Amino acid sequence: EAGAAAAEVTEVKGSSTIPGRMGRRYRRQQSNTSQSSQEQGLGVAGGALSSQVDRLRSLIDRLETRVSFDIPEEQIDIQNEKLIFIVHRKLTVSEGCEKSFRNSLKSYIEAVNVNEDCQHLSVRSFKGSSRYVIYEIWSNDKLWKEHLSSPEAKNFQHANVDNLETPEQLNTLPVPESWLKKD
């Protein structure tokens, strides 16, 4: 039996790169070999340590079989790839401007809801603060940019200059349309 284990170790040693779980097992075998020679001088304390290491090893082996780290690979046709555009806005309203801001926000929401190119709009306000976050999902970045030149979007921007404590923080993210499709 020891000869078979030595043959396995020799076969693994021959490979220059040892991927994933096999590599970890090989390293454990190597450390066990060096630990067993060190444990001979430790006596009872070493035996308790050895049993804990064995329990940990079996736990790791069980967890490795449960978790899959395989990431699905997508084949994409660059010419036909459809991206949607996510817009994230952070707004902090100045004291005393809450009512004016809410009125301009309401007008903006009504205008965006009519626009078919905006797939989703969400506004979050935070209790006890004057912070708002607006999320918009657009069919693509070109349509969002066209929307920015609309009178409603311009009115909202002008109102923000007067109503906001700090300039609006704006982030955008193009995302593959297939990620948001529901089966």
> DSSP letter at 45?
H
SS3 state at 173: strand
pLDDT tens per residue across span 127-144: 889 999 999 999 988 999
Query: Residue 91 half-sphere exposure, CB side, CA atoms within 13 Å?
Result: 27
SS3 state at 91: strand
pLDDT tens per residue across span 67-88: 666 667 777 777 777 889 999 9
Cα pseudo-dihedral 37, 42, 47, 51, rounded to 10: -70
- Domains of the chain, CATH where assigned: 2-66 (no CATH), 83-179 (3.30.70.100)
pTM: 0.58
Given a cut of 50, whether residue 30 has pLDDT beyond it is: yes
Residue 69's φ and ψ, nearest 5 degrees, are -100, 15
